[in-house]
Structure 1
Amino acid sequence: MELYNEKELDRLNPYQKEAVLDESPACIVNANVGSGKTTVLISKVQYLHHVKKVNYEEMTVLTFTNKAADEIKSRLLAAEPELPVEKLRGFGTFHSTALYYLREYLPVEKLGYTRDFLVIDPEEELELALDLIRQHKLKIKYKNRLKKRLESAMAVRGEEKKVSKYQDDIFDLVRLLREEKASQDKMTFFDLLENANLLLREEIGNSPSPKWVIVDEVQDSDSQQLVFLDRLVSRGANLFAVGDPNQVIYSWRGSAFQIFYTLKHKYRAKELTLPINYRSSSSILEAARCFLQNGSPLTGVREPGNKIIVKRQYDAFQDACYLAGRIKKLHREGTPYGEMAVFYRLQSQSGMFEDVFSREGIPFEVSLKRTVGDVPVLRWCIRLLRFSLNKKDTPSGIYVLASREYGEGISEKKAKEIVCNSKPGASLLFDKMCGFSRICEELGDEEALFSYFELERYLNPVSASYMEDRDAVHRLFQIMFDYVKEQQENREAGMRAFINSSSLYGLDVLREEISEEKDSVKLMTLHASKGLEFSCVFITGVNYGLIPLKTRDMDGEEEERRLFFVGITRAKDRLELSYYTNPGERAMPGESRYIRMIPPRLLEGEEERGPAVSLQELKRQVQEQRTQVQERSLQEQKRSLQEQERSLQEQKRSLQEQKRSLREQEPAPTKRVRHPRYGTGVVVREDETMLEAEFEGYGTKEFIKAFSELEYI
């Protein structure tokens, strides 16, 4: 049966079809928000496979989230139920694909690794770095920013550039850390791409040479990911990349607004556009156009629909109470809870809505990235498994045995002696970890694994958290065995892949990630909303200082505007914005200029508004607001200094009065003397030839002045 034919192409609009059929060596697709980007990407993969006869194994499909990669693979598998999942192993995030190449193709032995290396998170790398600083007595400044400093130092190319501006040993630390990770068979996220890029630079016969490289959300690429992309394309692969420059919201991570321009000119790529938005009403799209930055067309196919509602609230509590009532009303009218979402700029803003919604009985979920590292018992279990699978990982073995909450409860020194000297019989748990590889294939489920390590005794049954810890560990092991089964590998290799996956993506085993299927209101930051859509969206706290945040320069301001664009284009039918008259210290009272940028005819609110603000006027207002903030800050500093000066004057007067009072009250001056043996003492009695002094600890001593060795103080 033909799986991909003309009927599939007929479902696409002309712009989408042009992108799918294009056979240029390099093609960059500017996919506007809601324009069917994922549909085009998947159709491109199917077209290449079924029509152009390109094997799936000859394609590398790169995404920025595990969720996006899973969606692409699940839709392909749904269309072809007989398709073996291992044929799609080149489909994944940049980091997971680099991991796949390093494990399967690239000669990691040249870098001192084995193919069984494990992935660690940045926190564990930081632990290693601090340990190396202590061991080698390195001089490292600003340790509170060590993680960031390591990232910057690792990215430096060329030995001549490796000079610390702080005159410390940061580059020596980077070298030692690289050697230590290799000796322990560990790589971080950064190392996965860095090592893959290093090995891909060489002409190696067995290294991957895909015919097609397909990239989703290409605008989010950082410099390291662009190098990875270039290494693959330089081997003769065709490039097909889709993305939206108006959704560059991760510049702090290294992505840049000019990536489309860079890729287009570097690879002489053909540029196509997907301009038609199928998601939002035309009123919402018209408002969104006010925040476009690259002049690309954004065309909708839907009716105007509801006006955008703007609400003025006193503070976040009043807003949360209003939203609770509004959400209940919309739900009674037929809108599912799962089709409503509340967006805010900062994660700290969610608490108020959680409290009020809980009190009002509104089901909700909070989008909050939590990993096993956030749960002590799971962090301990992961380290337990890591050492069991990799005996070179001595820090994990020491951590497991010396843990105060779990483990053997022994000192770190003793744990280090047991692990480093591989002393059998010194610890039951250590023996279990060392024997894990021999018994691994016989452990059929989570209960067997739990029993093998005798975790019942290590989870502290008398502690208040015992039941919660026990359930969390069982859940972790269950997820791991399900993962191993899906991977269709032997159990030990599958567990190793699971540990790597948990480091790459994190695992929340206590609370599921927000589910689009669950009927509950979603609470999330604007950043977390990217890639999602809802019938009704509430964006809260649209005050200057929150939306947008105060930024240092115009680049930051432009990214804040793109972030707001992402937020409002998540809405399909209804969009509501709120601002506060009493927002707290972080923000300024009153509506943000972003609200004034939207044409008044699109808005429904409590007051008349002036005309919409142009981009030039916006820049002028930004400068005025910055000036006002600076002036207000200077005035506040001036007032503070004046108050400090007044306070100092008052303190000075008070001290002078106290001195006068003490002078009036104090007795005649007391003479003090110092003796080489008795120390400092107080003169009790004195005449022309004799002196008697009292010394603390020695009592009263009498001296002949001429021979006393006393010194007056």
Structure 2
Amino acid sequence: MPGTDPARVCAITFTNRAAAEVRERLAAAAGEAAGQVFVGTFHRFCLDWLRREDPDRVVVGDESRQRLLRRLFPELGVRERNGLAEEIADFLHRDNGGDAPEPVRLYLDELARRGAMDLDDVVPALIRRLRGDETFRRRVCAGVAHLFVDEFQDLNAPQYALVEILGEEATIFAIGDPDQAIYGFRGSDPSFFFRFADLPATRRLDLSRNYRSAAPLVEAASAVIAHNRLRSGISLTPATAREGAIELYRAPTPAAEAEFIVRRIEELMGGISSFSIASGRGGDQDSRRSFGDIAILYRLARQADELANALDRRGIPFQLVGAVPYFLGPVAGAATRFVRAAAGSTELAEWLALAQDLPGVGEGTIRRLEEALPLTGDFPALVAGVELPPPVAHRMAELTALLERFRSVAGREGIAPALGEALTLFGTDQGHADCRRLLALAGSFGRDIVAFDRHLREYAAETVYDERAEAVALMTLHASKGLEFPVVFLAGCEEGLIPCTLWRDVDVEEERRLFYVGMTRAKETLVLSASSERPWVSPAERPLSRFAGEIPGRLIRQPEPGRGGRRKPKGEQLDLF
């Protein structure tokens, strides 16, 4: 709008990656003025305001949270501590004025005593400040004249409370799709979307054209989501007239399901080896795909092993998305922690994890340091004041010296050469794929260690999908949101997995939304597969998912692996049982 002060425009996203994309587009459209617009996550917005009042505010992440829980509740095992961490997050994700459960209260009180706060408490903390300090509230609201919120259906209670407060002064533009609300386990609630949409001052614009998926896929997904009571009510129409296909295959076992998927990929690829082509396994040579065109989605991460093994046996490259990022894995994790230390991390839990990677530093030393050190500070200076066995003290001094050398080499020659030299400290194989990938990434940041560290931190908690990789993508349904592929395999379409009823009361409507999200990732071909049994699911024999049964039968065809070629829908209901 003409005359708008860009410094009073705020765009809030849910991921750092989305924020980066918005910044790029703004810079292209608005030039220098784009740099004055706040673009970031809810956490970043709230933390920026909190740190204006308290610049030294300490925020505790996962590693420090686990360290503190170990000290407060030494009697708990790993599983119990993880359960308590989830209970803490659940409490903080609610806009709850009530009393916290006793263990949660002890944890939050200990943080307050140390002048720290939990990462999940960042948004609630700002809400508490806004509600309790009218002067501060007016100052924050005056700084936001126009508020843009993406993925509005994923808001939890504290986030919606922030939008309500800012909306007292600002105009709000919200975009979202309640049919894709899939994060109830993180406290999100699609009812906030409808509450906002029903406000008298809200003008609602329905976006009903689907520009991604072929007509049969749009019709099938619409038929499935229509079974939900809480939904958008929008009737989607495809914007493309291109042909699409939906296949449904039921295998006797998970291994057979994985082998079917591999064979079907070979057909779609037009053959990936001379044997495949000569034997007819290659399918239609005129309909070749690339590996990057294909994604395999599943409900639970545990399903990935069988699928990855089948792909590996056939030599099909793949990237496992949404698992622990490669740079935090067992091979490259030590190098990443080294970079964090070199960039000046003051979170001592990160330093302790790095120290534990050093030869000769055992669990006893780590426990002694945990008891003696605060949550944050200058680790080398603090550890020098702790009495340690001479060999361990030598290791700590050696670590400090190596970090100094790393900074020196990085400043002269770049991060990649410095990191390659440092990897020898941990006995890491630099030829491993994860190390090569980390070194290549480090090279793109030149000599800027801080920027490299910031990038690793921003993407550590997010789905890491490399769209440039010539590889089949394996990921959970949750991780697939926002992505699209010409061909999508949705594995494990059976009761117990989708909807998932294995460990908690199931919200069938949210599980249906999750299935809908998976279906609408496909642009042209959607292949649904299921196993008649799943040994680690009780009972082992599984009926087909009710959601697959909600797809009109005339839209589904039965694949015939090994026959090759493209086949049109037969226009009849499959006999699935």
Q: Give your verdict on TM over 0.5.
A: yes
Q: Aligned partners of 2:413, 2:126: CA distance in 1, in Å?
A: 34
1:108 equivalent to 2:75? Answer no
Normalized against structure 2, the TM-score is what? 0.76
- Contact 1:60 1:210 (8 Å CA) reproduced: yes
1:190 equivalent to 2:144? Answer no
What percentage of aligned pairs have identical amino acids?
A: 26
Secondary structure of 2:411 counterpart? coil
Q: Aligned partners of 1:452, 1:585: CA distance in 2, in Å?
A: 42
Q: Aligned partners of 1:542, 1:61: CA distance in 2, in Å?
A: 37
Give the AA of the match of 1:123. E
Secondary structure of 1:274 counterpart? coil
Which of 250, 259, 278 is 2:211 aligned to?
278
Which of 129, 133, 147 is 1:213 aligned to?
147
Q: Aligned partners of 1:552, 1:326: CA distance in 2, in Å?
A: 32
Which of 558, 562, 566 is 1:605 aligned to?
558
Superposition pairs of residues 60-459 of structure 1, within 5 angstroms: 60-79=10-29, 82-83=31-32, 86-88=35-37, 90-103=38-51, 106-108=52-54, 113=56, 117=58, 119-133=59-73, 143=81, 145-152=83-90, 161-162=98-99, 164=101, 170-182=104-116, 187-201=117-131, 202=133, 203-204=135-136, 207=140, 209-234=143-168, 236-265=169-198, 268-292=201-225, 293=228, 294=231, 295-303=233-241, 305-332=243-270, 333-371=287-325, 372-375=327-330, 378=333, 382=337, 385-386=340-341, 389=344, 393=347, 400-401=354-355, 404-405=358-359, 411-412=365-366, 416=372, 419-420=381-382, 422-423=384-385, 429=396, 444=411, 455=422, 459=425
Q: Aligned partners of 2:15, 2:94: CA distance in 1, in Å?
A: 26
Higher-Rg member (1/2): 1
Q: Aligned partners of 1:373, 1:319: CA distance in 2, in Å?
A: 31
Normalized against structure 1, the TM-score is what? 0.63
- Contact 2:419 2:439 (8 Å CA) reproduced: no
Q: Aligned partners of 1:127, 1:144: CA distance in 2, in Å?
A: 12
Which of 462, 478, 490 is 1:527 aligned to?
478
Q: Which is further off, 243-252 or 402-411?
A: 402-411
Residues 73-118 of structure 1 deviation map (CA, whole Å, 9 limit, x = unaligned): 22333446x5477435x11222233334445xx3025xxx35xx5x
Secondary structure of 1:228 counterpart? helix
Give the AA of the match of 1:599. P
1:578 equivalent to 2:529? Answer yes
Q: Aligned partners of 1:571, 1:452: CA distance in 2, in Å?
A: 40
Aligned to 1:623: none
Aligned to 1:697: none
Q: Which is further off, 591-600 or 567-576?
A: 591-600
Residues 572-619 of structure 1 deviation map (CA, whole Å, 9 limit, x = unaligned): 11122122233335264343222221112112128997699xxxxxxx
Q: How far apart are 1:57 and its partner, in Å?
A: 2.8
Give the AA of the match of 2:176. G
Q: Aligned partners of 2:247, 2:104: CA distance in 1, in Å?
A: 53
How many residues are aligned here?
522
Go from structure 1 to structure 2 and tell me whether the alpha carbon gap of 1:479 and 1:93 turns closer, same or farther (over 3 Å shift): farther
Secondary structure of 2:483 counterpart? coil
Aligned to 1:514: 465
Q: Aligned partners of 1:213, 1:439: CA distance in 2, in Å?
A: 43
Residues 283-311 of structure 1 deviation map (CA, whole Å, 9 limit, x = unaligned): 11111111223222212233372442222
Which structure 1 residue ranges, 5 or more long, are not aligned?
1-47, 486-490, 613-713
Aligned to 1:482: 445
Residues 421-456 of structure 1 deviation map (CA, whole Å, 9 limit, x = unaligned): 755997685598599899979962675798699947
Q: CA RMSD in A?
A: 4.4
Give the AA of the match of 2:480. S
- Contact 2:93 2:156 (8 Å CA) reproduced: no
Bigger RCO (CA 8 Å, 6+ sep):
2
Residues 397-417 of structure 1 deviation map (CA, whole Å, 9 limit, x = unaligned): 555556554779994588659
